[in-house]
Structure 1
Amino acid sequence: MGYVFDVMTQSQAEHIAHSWHYDGIYSFYDMEADEEDLAEFLDPNMRGESMFAVTKSDELIGFFSANQVSRDTVDIGLGLRPDLTGHGYGKVFLEAGLTHVQSTYAPARITLAVATFNQRAIALYRKLGFQDVETFMQETNGSTFEFLKMRYEC
């Protein structure tokens, strides 16, 4: 059985926000690391229908957001359950997400932003065809961090 993408429930959002904690430098991605991000993630009106809980065999394994930023472009965000990271599951998870976005929104391109320290994710994105667009600075988690904007042509 493959991955299933359903609009995230409040219970799933609360579970992810309060119990998913990443190790080492990846703790940057803990939902509780940034109050604004946490509030947005927990607010069902802000999440809307663009935040998906991803399950496999009825087990929550990740989340995937898809925001249509223009007629041709969907911007994505994603997170794999902490205990599944670093074990090679990211490729299949991201491929499933790209397939979901393409079949749901039919965009010409998909974009994402990733912290530049996250070389593990950047390598995966490049391997699957994402191209570097630009770097930019963004305030988050109580400081300013460098991010890389990437683009995938569908």
Structure 2
Amino acid sequence: MTYRFEIMTQQQAEEIAYNWHYDGEYSFYDMEADEEDLAEFLDTESRRDKMFTVYNGEEVIGFFSVYKTDHATYDIGLGMRPDFTGRSMGLEFLKAGLNFVISRFSPVKITLSVATFNLRAIKVYRKIGFEEKETFMQETNGGTYEFLRMEYANFP
């Protein structure tokens, strides 16, 4: 697949926020599950040059967020369209995203955080070269949940 990354438009943000719904425990990742996260996702200024829509051809298949946390570290977040999850596409999607981040931002370090229950995603992150750094508790979605911070260690 050939992926293309473009700055997310307001229309795309609204489509993702209100129409992408995940099954079962993964509904944790529905944008509407947390009012603060939803407001930030829908705010044009908050998204600005940090949130990217990912295309395969002309079809939107996901999004990628990129936040600079210090002079050389970038924290990423990502989401695949619900009907693409669980279809063994995550590794290729993540590789494309990492290549995009590396070529556009020239990071020294890339980090991400993932809910510890999301073993499917953690498996993909480990396979591509992310290493576990620490767990932490975070308030979100009306409760407090355990997350795993991971760091990418396989720069070319």
Scaled to the shorter chain, the TM-score interval is: over 0.9
Q: Tell me what 1:61 maps to.
A: 61
Alpha-carbon separation, structure 1, partners of 2:88 and 2:62: 14
For residues 125-140 of structure 1, what are the structure 2 equivalents within 5 Å? 125-140=125-140
Alpha-carbon separation, structure 2, partners of 1:41 and 1:99: 23
- Which of 65-74 and 118-127 deviates more? 65-74
Amino acid at match of 1:45: E
Q: Tell me what 1:117 maps to.
A: 117
Amino acid at match of 1:60: V
Alpha-carbon separation, structure 2, partners of 1:61 and 1:124: 17
Alpha-carbon separation, structure 1, partners of 2:23 and 2:55: 22
For residues 23-62 of structure 1, what are the structure 2 equivalents within 5 Å? 23-62=23-62
Deviation at 1:110, TM superposition (A): 0.4
SS of structure 1 residue aligned to 2:6: strand
Q: Tell me what 1:86 maps to.
A: 86
Amino acid at match of 2:136: F
Q: List runs of 5+ in structure 1 lacking aligned partners.
A: none
Deviation at 1:92, TM superposition (A): 0.5
Is it true that 1:100 corresponds to 2:114 in the alignment? Answer: no
> What is the TM-score normalised by the length of structure 1?
0.98
Is it true that 1:21 corresponds to 2:28 in the alignment? Answer: no
Alpha-carbon separation, structure 2, partners of 1:58 and 1:40: 26
Q: Runs of 4 or more off by more than 6 Å in structure 1? A: none
> What is the TM-score normalised by the length of structure 2?
0.97
Deviation at 1:57, TM superposition (A): 1.0
The two structures, once aligned, show a CA RMSD in angstroms of: 0.7
Taking only the aligned residue pairs, the percentage that are identical comes to: 62
SS of structure 2 residue aligned to 1:97: helix
Amino acid at match of 1:145: Y
Alpha-carbon separation, structure 1, partners of 2:97 and 2:71: 19
Deviation at 1:108, TM superposition (A): 1.2
